[in-house]
Amino acid sequence: MKSVKSIKKPNVIFLFLLIGISNLSFYGKNSENSSFESLRLAYDKYEKNDNKALPFVQKLISKAKKENNLSELVHGYQDALYFEKNKFLKLKYADSTIVAAIKSKDNDLITSAYLGKGIIYYSNFRKYTPALNEYLKAFTYVKNSENKYLRYKVVYHLGVVKSYLGYYDEALIHFKDCIHFFEAQLKSDLHPNEVFNYKKGYLNSIHQANVIYRSLKLHKKSDSLIALGLKQSINQKDFILEYNYFLKSKGVSLFYNHQYKEALPYFSESLNGLKKADDFVWVSVNYFFQGKSLLYLNKKELAIKKFEKIDSIFNKHQFILPELRNNYEILINIYKKENNVDKQVYYMKQLLKADSVISKDFVYLAPKIHKEYDAKSLYESKTELENRIHIRNLLVMIFIVISLALLALYVIRYRREIHIQTQYKSLENKYLEALNNLENNNSLAEKEMPIFNSGESENQRRLGISKEIELEILKKLEAFENSKGFTKKGVNLNLLASKFETNAHYLSWVINENKKMNFNRYLIELRINYITNLLFSDKKYLNYTVDALAEECGIASRQNFSALFYEMNGIRPKDFINQRKQELENS
């Protein structure tokens, strides 16, 4: 809600830029304070809440302090309050104004100071009880004042706060008194600046009375005031904001007459002006009635966007009018029909938060509000929906975990299959290469064990082993390989050395020197290469069990065979058999 304030005219900022104390008192002192007026001209061009004006205002304040001019000091603090953007600093300037005004012992200045602080509480903080307290202090000082404009300005602001708190009957009396006073003054011979202030007070009083009549469902009286306000403010550049208030009110009137389509242009036309004035309260009201009109016109999606804007304003300012709590009831019902649990829970939480704000700010109105969702049922519904969301989220998480696990298994399996195929092809290539070598050199040893390479070493002899002994052991090893002696279980270094009629040390040295491996590795490679070649060359072995294959090559246990086969070939026996069978079937 916009308060009545004085106007800023070209080359002159009157003493009360925020709250507009009587212009006549200013003119009376103008000749005495020409230097102060000159200082004001330096920041006359700046708009409200423009901090760039403050350095110039501070010069005026410093001059007033130096000269102990309390009247100008009050005016300087009021100018600083007007240009300061930060609401908390505004409040500090308001306190400084009060201190200076009390020192001046001028009742009008004291009234103006308390009124200014009340306006900050009301306009910037939306704290109605503190605002009302400041207005009541102002009223005690202005009761015996001859400055009637200032007195009715206080009366107007008392009415504004009482109206918001729901004391409609008391507030209406205040606004009727203000309308009567301002209207009467406008018929007298006034200075142009006084005309502006009185007419602004008149239009704002009409608007506030109209709001109360609408709240009391006295629609005819409300409509007559709207018509009067539009007539008095149309095409008046000094009263554009007031004109937008009446446009908004006209839209509300059409809404209550079920003329939803006709109401929308009034809301649209007034919205920009309300936004420009940063009057978020009436902007919210505008969005609310736009949304409800669109809803009745079956434009649900557009309506929801308007309702969501109200929620955005509420989140930013933590303030909401009692009549706008219905905004959340509408949204809850919409999303209940759509079975959108998340949205329901969110707007239930917002409704509870709104009720908390309303109960704190509107003590008188809060118990009287019809609540479709009372607190108890709202908490119960919210809890139930939150439990449903929790269960749903839990199921979603379980599904995600299972899906990820299945995906991981699939990836592992896929990579394993690729690995198996790669290893199988590698083994197959080695086998084919060995067969080709067999045809070229017709070696019996290579024929039986194509993968095995038994080249003879020419390293320096050690330990006293003669060339003849080494060759004799190598011949016996060749016979051992050709006779498949390695397939017998229990073969070890000592047993084989005894069979070769040599000692274990000699046998071990010959194998290490010529085969480039120790005895155990030599035995393992003979056995695994042997069984691998059988699986390639004779398909009957593809039907053997792993145990039977282990038995065939002389390895004692199934587990040991499988591990050694994988170590040698990079593929498990079962996987090898499957790949081999598949290849044979395809060919």
Amino acid, res. 14: F
Predicted pLDDT of residue 29: 41
Residue 201 has pLDDT above 90, yes or no: yes
Most confident of 3-17, 348-362, 555-569: 555-569
Domain residue spans of the chain: 426-586
Predicted pLDDT of residue 390: 72
Q: How far apart are CA 130 and CA 60, in angstroms?
A: 30
Average per-residue pLDDT for the chain: 84
Q: How far apart are CA 282 and CA 245, in angstroms?
A: 8
Q: How far apart are CA 566 and CA 265, in angstroms?
A: 81
DSSP strand pairing (12-13 vs 8-9): antiparallel
Q: How far apart are CA 28 and CA 24, in angstroms?
A: 6
Work out the number of other CB atoms within 10 angstroms of the CB of residue 9. 12
Predicted pLDDT of residue 419: 78
Lowest mean pLDDT among 71-75, 103-107, 174-178, 425-429: 425-429
Q: How far apart are CA 221 and CA 210, in angstroms?
A: 7
Work out the number of other CB atoms within 10 angstroms of the CB of residue 406. 10
| Arch. (CATH architecture) of 426-586 | Orthogonal Bundle (1.10)
Q: Is 13 helix (H, G, I), strand (E, B) or coil?
A: strand
Residue 255 has pLDDT above 90, yes or no: yes
Q: In the numeric block, which tokens belong to residue 43? A: 């920041």
Query: What pTM value is reported for the model?
Result: 0.58
Give the model's confidence band at 409: pLDDT under 50 very low, under 70 low, under 90 confident, else very high.
confident
Predicted pLDDT of residue 358: 83
Give 9's DSSP letter. Answer: E
Most confident of 122-136, 392-406, 456-470, 520-534: 520-534
Predicted pLDDT of residue 444: 37
Predicted pLDDT of residue 367: 60
Contact (Cβ atoms closer than 8 angstroms) between residue 446 and residue 462: no
Of 438, 445, 452, 443, the residue nearest 529 (C-alpha): 452
DSSP H/E element including 161? helix 148-165
Lowest mean pLDDT among 142-151, 437-446, 544-553, 567-576: 437-446
Calculate what percentage of the chain has a pLDDT beyond 90: 50
Lowest mean pLDDT among 51-60, 178-187, 269-278, 392-401: 392-401
Predicted pLDDT of residue 456: 42
Contact (Cβ atoms closer than 8 angstroms) between residue 535 and residue 577: yes
